[in-house]
Amino acid sequence: MRLYLLALNPTDSVTEGFLPAASRLGLDVTVLTDSPTAHQELYGGQVDVEECDVRDFRAVITRIATGRTPHAVFTNSDHLQTQAALAAEYFGLPAKPWQVALRAKDKAQMRRHLAATGADTVWSAELAAGADPVSLLELPVPYPCVVKPREGVASEDVVLVGGPEELVLRCKEIQARRPQAALVAEEYLAGELYTLETLGDGSVRHVLGGFHTEISPPPYFIEERLTFVPAHPEPVVAQILAQLDALGVGFGACHTEFVVQDGRARIIEVNYRAIGDQCDLLLAGLLDIPLFEHILRVHLGEPLPADLGARDDGRARLEYPYAERAGTLTAAPEATERTVEGVRLVYRPLRATGERYELHHTNRDYFGILRATGTDQETIDRVVTDFLGAQRWEITP
């Protein structure tokens, strides 16, 4: 059976998660991408890689139609969910409804839909690409508010603004970097940030737990640390699932970010794919389930088991040391794997020493990712703190 996997740049989720899972399932894989050289260099000829304008669903359909018979079309990219859904539907293959994929990706449409269904109402306004941000001042904007690209990802160009002048300024700054992007200004949902990770086949849905996310001080929203939460309070989970139902989300993996205000769960955004930044790799090992295989099997049309057989005694923490200024990385720890006091530590660098990097105020500023897993959270926290305290990252301006 052949799996067509849509991708932009290479990611750990695909390289270490989905491609090995596809191999274990005996699938033949064709990676369709607009960055073929990067994928070919990474896979060393072990995977079929074909160039395609994957942002255009028509190009994807054409490439698949002129190739080998597809049995599944899949992507874990935020940017390509709608295209993959449309292509899968065209060939009569299992897929997320493309309307739902679009609804989750388009943050303005998500807000409109949740409000229209009565699931939740968050004040939100959309600014078309190229439109004058001054027009927002005619609206009853609640300050502080958040400005972000309508179809952005990974906190890229997401910023908290405190007043009208700053709102216009921040919008113009983002427009200068992204002239083709529509923006959203919306009510700031204050509170501790959490995630809910789910996996469904359209009939059965499993809650895999979630994370407590600690972010950088305002005005940016850089994820600094995630701590695994085996089970959120049942009323909170029920509220989030009800909102996902209102959106139509229920097929495949989904990563939902939310806050809780006076017992009320409010969605920040819905990422209709598996959680990234190596959290999915951690989750698969922590729960001791073939997570990536389950996700691919759903897209092959296979039902999920009623019980995934997941472990419930695991605890974990991820740390993302990151740059706070632009410059050349002159000192940094190498990749490390070790076990300390029963805690498994895996550190993977994301930046090479000797290279100059600009500052983005997003996960592109990460030096690396530290994954720590065990069964006692206090021990994990202590071991992580000791490990990070012994490391050194140096940036030369």
Task: Find tokens 């009565």 and name the residue.
Answer: 118
295 to 47, 94, 305: CA distances (angstroms): 19, 12, 12
Helices (H), the chain: 12, 19-24, 36-43, 57-65, 81-90, 98-105, 107-116, 164-177, 234-247, 279-287, 291-299, 377-389
In 3D, which of 102, 91, 63, 65 has the Cα closest to residue 299?
91
Q: How far apart are CA 276 and CA 267, in angstroms?
A: 18
Q: How far apart are CA 320 and CA 199, in angstroms?
A: 25
Per-residue model confidence (pLDDT) at position 367: 96
Backbone angles phi, psi at 110, to 5 degrees: -60, -45
- Residue 338, C-beta contacts closer than 8 angstroms, at least 6 positions apart: 344, 345
pTM score of the predicted model:
0.95
Q: How far apart are CA 11 and CA 382, in angstroms?
A: 30
pLDDT tens for each residue of the chain, 397 residues long: 999 999 999 999 999 999 999 999 999 999 999 999 999 999 988 999 999 999 999 999 999 999 999 999 999 999 999 999 999 999 999 999 999 999 999 999 999 999 999 999 999 999 999 999 999 999 999 999 999 999 988 889 999 999 999 999 999 999 999 999 999 999 999 999 999 999 999 999 999 999 999 999 999 999 999 999 999 999 999 999 999 999 999 999 999 999 999 999 999 999 999 999 999 999 999 999 999 999 999 999 999 999 999 999 999 999 999 999 999 999 999 999 999 999 999 999 999 999 999 999 999 999 999 999 999 999 999 999 999 999 999 999 9
In 3D, which of 267, 253, 116, 137 has the Cα closest to residue 189?
267
pLDDT digits (tens, 9 = 90+) for 201-213: 999 999 999 999 9
DSSP state of 272: S
Q: How far apart are CA 91 and CA 47, in angstroms?
A: 23
The tokens describing 176, both together, are: 């200068």
In 3D, which of 198, 197, 199 has the Cα closest to residue 304?
199
Which sign, positive or negative, has the C-alpha torsion 77, 237, 210, 313?
negative
Per-residue model confidence (pLDDT) at position 115: 97
263 to 122, 181, 215, 280, 380: CA distances (angstroms): 16, 35, 21, 28, 29
Backbone angles phi, psi at 180, to 5 degrees: -95, 0
Residue pair 298/330 in contact (Cβ under 8 Å)? The answer is no
